[in-house]
Amino acid sequence: MDYLKELNKSQHEAVVETNGPALIIAGAGSGKTRVLTYRIAHLLNQGARPSAILALTFTNKAAREMKERISEIVGENTARYLWMGTFHSIFLRMLRAEHEVIGYPSNFTIYDASDSRSLIKTIIKGFQLDDKTYKPGVVSSRISMAKNNLITPQAYAQNSEVRLADKSMRMPAIAEIYKEYAKRCFLSGAMDFDDLLLKTNLLFRDRPEILEKYQQRFTHILVDEYQDTNYAQYLIIKKLAVHHKNICVVGDDAQSIYSFRGARIENILNFQKDYPSHKIFKLEQNYRSTQTIVNAANSIIAKNKRQIPKTVFSEKDRGNNIKVISALTDNEEGFLVAQEIAQTQLRDHYRNLDYAILYRTNAQSRIFEEALRKRNIPYKIYGGLSFYQRKEIKDLLAYFRLIINPWDNEALKRIINYPARGIGQTTLAKLETAAVNAEVSIWKMISGMPENNPMNLNKGIIAKVLKFRGLIQGFAKIAIENDAFDTAKTIAEETGILKELYSDKSTEGLSRHDNIQELLNGIQEFTLNAKEEGRPDKLENFLEDVALLTDQDTDKDEDKDKVTLMTVHSAKGLEFKNVFVVGLEDNLFPSAQASEKKSAEALEEERRLFYVALTRARENAWLSYASQRYKWGKLDFGSPSRFLIEMDEQYLDGDEIGGSTSASQNPFQQQQVPGNRQITGSKRQPVTPGIRRSTDFVSRKLIEARKANQPGTGFESDDPNKIMQGMTVEHQRFGEGKVLKIEGVPPNKKATVFFKNAGQKQLLLKFAKLKIKG
């Protein structure tokens, strides 16, 4: 078998020793995916049936890529029968197959995070609780925590530990909210993400014969990214593996960075205890990064107490030292990063796709976007609001959802008055209250009309509601008889959504129209593929695919040669020649309250996050931070991350970019504040408290710096008071425009401007960057 020759010794062992429990510790860049794919291919070559192999990943993308690579070895006709996918998609498939047992319709809806948040909000309102104490986000994460730990609403109510925690947060009613939430989801025929795992567990608990069926079916189970599994996932795997015990988990405890969504690093740490007869394989050679990067990353997590001992090493060159970018302001940070990209590109002939900028939060991307745009460096951003989260897309999808599953209350509430058809909040509230009281879905309530009218709606309103009902019923019929694309097109046209967006000539309106078109194109592609491959091509089938899809999963051609901007979390599993880790103040966590003491575990995870970020780089890494940045309109002072300060000198480049050495290029040099972080000799000093006391001095210097034609800004506003009606002005993003109206008094003075390229905009003058042209 040729493919085995491509493996080193430990990789080879991990691939061929397929009997019994196996723990594969795969350090960053150690060829994990290769081992996993070859192991599966090897199983198949040894005669295992593909449908008996269950392989679980964390992202659709990982599953797809692995499937492709396995196809190349064993052929597509074998690979297609593998049970390979994300935890959520595999168990969704299982739950749909077993829907009768759990009392759900087969076409149950998946509520995404915003659906479940809005339902929680409704419940909080219905209970007449104060939504300032009961923040939907917090309540939602409590419920999610409960589900991930398999605590049902009944168990929650009796669990003194969680109840006590709720009380200490002054939210004793969470148990009630959870119960109501679960009930309403059930009445809507809906599950949220966490339900997919919870209900699978309950199914296995309550129906041993079904568990038995799957235990027999899967002779081999493989789990990728095992360090990121939560309790619910852990238990599913454990139960399924009972019979054959051929469970192979792959992961790296050093890359466990998902505790916030319930991931338990204990799962991988305790695997050896769970399965005493296990074999352990350690993939320790890093084929990705230079020695400098590997060693620097190792040095960071070396301080962590809880980890599986291993020595990750690289046999590549020592490579360049890691460069430090020390910027005074956020804008300067963006400028310096863009400048570094441009300079290294010229010098070393890198392409745009060789670069990634990694940050902690999506909101940090803007500064770098602007800086790259100014230099005409093409870039792409992952994360932020995904395609499927845009309003117009969610609206159209809500129609689809309601047609497939009319019980879906969240979908119904979204569209019953979109486009406007005279069914307002009051009517909707009446309908919902009546539905809740009768313990049915809103649609059931509407179905009983006009004979049943417990909420005293007047004739005109009833007529409007019935018209809506007829519309949906008509669509439902079309959906049964036609393929997904025809149905979707009919809906988009007949509801008037397409027309409404088409007539909206503003920039937003145009892009919304484009998005709808793109969705329709996607559905068309789905339909064509389905027809070709003989799969069902109905709207229902499209919707199943789309529920668990994120747009991280789609790679577009036009995105080929671009600089990548993404969060450290979403960069996991990827690699780039050159990586900028930016916003490195206060433990890579800009919004952390400096005073709040972090638990030891949280600090260890911060280290691992840093480790993940650094090990994405093949050749060069930059670490950058800004001393001052604007955070919700106010100046915020940051000290460099403790990891930067702790890191051994030998890995760092002595010439700090934007620091003391590049004075000639850096107009900020003169404004550098005494006491700010500088390299003096070989020992760097952390920021002294003194800097915080001299706030006035610093902000005065900062304002001066901004006035002195700061490189990162490049566009200075003229005095807002001088902007008058009729003037021609230039905006930094929208281009040239004419001032139609000025209104309000400072600081809320506003201008209505008509831009040639961007249409009419209202701008708040204290923020908008406008220059007077004539």
Partner DNA sequence: CATCGAATACTTTTT
Partner DNA sequence: GTATTCGATG
CB hemisphere CA count around 435 (13 angstroms): 26
Residue 657 DSSP code: B
Residues from 593 through 652 that contact DNA (CB under 7 A): 631-633
Q: How far is the CB of 46 from DNA (least distance, A)?
A: 29
Q: Which of 13, 17, 18, 33 is catalytic?
A: 33
CB hemisphere CA count around 118 (13 angstroms): 10
Residues in the chain, total: 774
d(Cα 707, Cα 701) in Å, to the nearest integer?
A: 10
Question: CB burial class (10 A; 0-12, 13-18, 19+) of residue 471?
Answer: middle
360 touches DNA (CB under 7 A):
yes
363 touches DNA (CB under 7 A):
yes
Name the token pair of 188. Answer: 């809507």
Active-site annotation holds for 333: no
29 a known binding residue?
A: yes
Q: Which of 166, 224, 483, 604 is catalytic?
A: 224
137 touches DNA (CB under 7 A):
yes
CB count in 10 Å sphere of residue 165: 14
454 touches DNA (CB under 7 A):
no
427 touches DNA (CB under 7 A):
yes
Active-site annotation holds for 743: no
With H, G, I as helix, E, B as strand and everything else as coil, classify residue 282: strand
Alpha helix stretches (DSSP H) within 302-390: 330-348, 365-374
- Pick 360 or 512: Cβ nearer DNA: 360
- Pick 311 or 425: Cβ nearer DNA: 425
309 touches DNA (CB under 7 A):
no
Q: How far is the CB of 760 from DNA (least distance, A)?
A: 11
Which among 369, 316, 286 has a CA at the least distance from the CA of 611? 286
626 a known binding residue?
A: no
- Beta-carbon contacts of residue 18 (< 8 Å; ≥ 6 apart): 39, 42, 43, 46, 220, 246, 248
With H, G, I as helix, E, B as strand and everything else as coil, classify residue 597: coil
CB hemisphere CA count around 60 (13 angstroms): 13
Number of chain positions touching DNA (CB under 7 A): 49
Here's the x/- map for DNA, 190-219, by CB under 7 A: it reads as: ---x--------------------------
Here's the x/- map for DNA, 384-423, by CB under 7 A: it reads as: ---------------------------------x--xxxx
Q: How far is the CB of 413 from DNA (least distance, A)?
A: 12
Here's the x/- map for DNA, 75-114, by CB under 7 A: it reads as: -----------xxxx-----------------------x-
Among 555, 748, 756, 757, binds DNA (CB under 7 A): 748
- Asked whether the CA dihedral 81, 83, 89, 92 is positive or negative, the reply is positive
Q: How far is the CB of 753 from DNA (least distance, A)?
A: 13
Active-site annotation holds for 238: no
Instruction: Spell out the long-range contacts of 332-335 with Cβ–Cβ below 8 A and sequence spacing 24 or more.
Output: 332/626, 332/658, 332/668, 332/710, 332/711, 332/712, 333/367, 333/582, 333/583, 333/624, 333/625, 333/626, 333/629, 333/658, 333/712, 334/367, 334/368, 334/370, 334/371, 334/372, 334/712, 335/371, 335/711, 335/712
Residue 460 sits at φ, ψ, to 5 deg, of: -60, -45
Here's the x/- map for DNA, 140-179, by CB under 7 A: it reads as: ----------------------------------------
Q: Are 498 and 476 in contact (CB under 8 A)?
A: no
251 a known binding residue?
A: no
Among 71, 219, 299, 362, binds DNA (CB under 7 A): 362
- Pick 246 or 567: Cβ nearer DNA: 567
Here's the x/- map for DNA, 491-530, by CB under 7 A: it reads as: ----------------------------------------
Residues from 456 through 495 that contact DNA (CB under 7 A): 461
Q: How far is the CB of 569 from DNA (least distance, A)?
A: 3
Q: What are the C-alpha distances in Å from 312 to residues 131, 487, 569?
A: 49, 54, 21
Q: Which of 227, 255, 329, 344 is catalytic?
A: 255
Q: Are 580 and 622 in contact (CB under 8 A)?
A: yes
- Pick 213 or 373: Cβ nearer DNA: 373
- Pick 101 or 703: Cβ nearer DNA: 703
28 a known binding residue?
A: yes
The CA-based dihedral angle spanning residues 244, 250, 255, 259, taken in that order and rounded to the nearest 10 degrees = -20
Q: How far is the CB of 255 from DNA (least distance, A)?
A: 13
Among 81, 127, 697, 767, binds DNA (CB under 7 A): 767
Here's the x/- map for DNA, 547-586, by CB under 7 A: it reads as: -x-x-x--------------x-xx----------------
d(Cα 548, Cα 195) in Å, to the nearest integer?
A: 13
121 touches DNA (CB under 7 A):
yes
Q: Which of 166, 194, 195, 225 is catalytic?
A: 225
> Interface with DNA by CB under 7 A: which range of 207-215, 524-532, 655-663, 766-774?
766-774
- Pick 367 or 687: Cβ nearer DNA: 367
The end-to-end CA distance of the chain, in Å, is: 75
Active-site annotation holds for 370: no
Q: Which of 616, 642, 684, 701 is catalytic?
A: 616
Residues from 224 through 283 that contact DNA (CB under 7 A): 257-258, 260-261
Q: Are 464 and 426 in contact (CB under 8 A)?
A: no
Q: What are the C-alpha distances in Å from 577 to residues 27, 572, 581, 622, 735?
A: 18, 15, 13, 11, 35
Q: How far is the CB of 239 from DNA (least distance, A)?
A: 19
662 touches DNA (CB under 7 A):
no
31 a known binding residue?
A: yes
Q: Sort strands 53-57 and 83-86 into parallel, antiparallel or unpaired.
A: parallel
Question: CB burial class (10 A; 0-12, 13-18, 19+) of residue 488?
Answer: buried
749 touches DNA (CB under 7 A):
no
Name the token pair of 396. Answer: 């159209």
Active-site annotation holds for 394: no
d(Cα 558, Cα 551) in Å, to the nearest integer?
A: 15
380 touches DNA (CB under 7 A):
no
- Beta-carbon contacts of residue 632 (< 8 Å; ≥ 6 apart): none
- Beta-carbon contacts of residue 128 (< 8 Å; ≥ 6 apart): none
Active-site annotation holds for 773: no
Contact footprint for DNA (CB under 7 A): 58-60, 86-89, 113, 121, 135, 137, 193, 257-258, 260-261, 360-363, 383, 417, 420-427, 461, 548, 550, 552, 567, 569-570, 589, 591, 631-633, 744, 748, 750, 764, 767-769
Q: Give the active site residues.
A: 32-33, 224-225, 255, 616
Query: Which residue ranges are tagged as binding site?
Result: 26-33
Q: What residues form the annotated binding site for ATP?
A: 26-33
